[in-house]
């Protein structure tokens, strides 16, 4: 029995689990077999439906486990955001571990989709102005002390 579908692969394909090798021998052709064939086809269809439902259920469980700690973040045009400096995209800004890992605020110019945004970057960065949402964080004026260095 397979753990994700609760049936053996043989049972999914043929509709039964053979107990002995004799169970695999073909039956003689006749009218009884055609009726038996119809019932067997219905049985296999029911097994396939159960397997399909079980796989969908397992996929939903895996999705909820994978998305457990994630939060859905969206920005609108005009919002200010911080940009995270990744080594691959900003090699000159990440030469030393003492350099800042984020910069901002930058204004969101355009929402491409829920996962990509176009920002108003300064000319010094020489990179594309389109960013994934995972590289952005909301710029909150009240919660960030980097905006005013004289604040306590």
pLDDT in tens, 100-114: 888 889 999 999 998
pLDDT at 99: 86
For residue 114, tell me if it sits in a domain. Answer: yes
Domain-embedded: residue 75? no
Same domain, 132 and 86: yes
Closest CA to 14 of 40, 53, 34: 40
What percent of the chain has pLDDT above 70? 83
Distance (Å) of CA 123 to CA 39, 85, 110, 145: 72, 16, 18, 25
Nearest to residue 147, comparing CAs of 85, 70, 74, 82? Answer: 82
Residue 89: pLDDT band with limits 50, 70, 90: confident
Q: Do residues 91 and 121 share a domain?
A: yes
In-domain check, residue 25 = yes
Domain match, 29 and 51 both = yes
Most distant CA atoms of the chain, gap in Å: 94
**C-beta separation of 44 from 15 below 8 A:** yes
pLDDT score, position 32:
42
Q: Is 60 exceeded by the pLDDT of residue 146?
A: no
- When divided into structural domains, the chain yields a total of 2
In a domain, 71, yes or no: no
Expressed as residue numbers, the domain containing 50 is: 9-66
Q: Which range has the worst mean pLDDT, 7-16, 58-67, 117-126?
A: 7-16
Q: Is residue 4 part of a domain?
A: no
At residue 147, the pLDDT reads: 53
Q: In the structure, what pLDDT confidence band is assigned to residue 26 with cuts at 50, 70 and 90?
A: low
Closest C-alpha among 118, 129, 54 to residue 90: 129
Mean pLDDT of the chain: 81
Across the range 132-138, mean pLDDT stands at: 90
> Is residue 140 one of the residues assigned to a domain?
yes
- Mean pLDDT highest for which of 97-101, 123-127, 139-143? 97-101
Residue 83 has pLDDT above 70, yes or no: yes
Six token digits for residue 22: 């004799």
């Amino acid at each position: 029995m397979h753990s994700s579908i609760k049936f053996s692969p043989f049972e999914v394909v043929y509709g039964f689990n053979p107990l002995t090798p004799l169970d695999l021998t073909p039956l003689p052709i006749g009218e009884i077999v055609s009726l038996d064939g119809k019932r067997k086809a219905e049985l296999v269809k029911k097994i396939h439906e159960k397997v399909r439902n079980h796989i969908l259920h397992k996929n939903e469980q895996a999705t909820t486990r994978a998305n457990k700690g994630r939060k859905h973040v969206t920005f609108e045009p005009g919002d200010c955001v911080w940009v995270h400096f990744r080594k691959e995209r900003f090699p000159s800004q990440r030469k030393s571990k003492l350099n800042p890992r984020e910069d901002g605020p930058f204004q969101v110019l355009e929402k491409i989709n829920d996962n990509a945004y176009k920002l108003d970057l300064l000319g010094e960065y020489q990179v594309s102005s389109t960013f994934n949402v995972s590289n952005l964080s909301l710029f909150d004026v009240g919660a960030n002390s980097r905006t005013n260095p004289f604040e306590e």
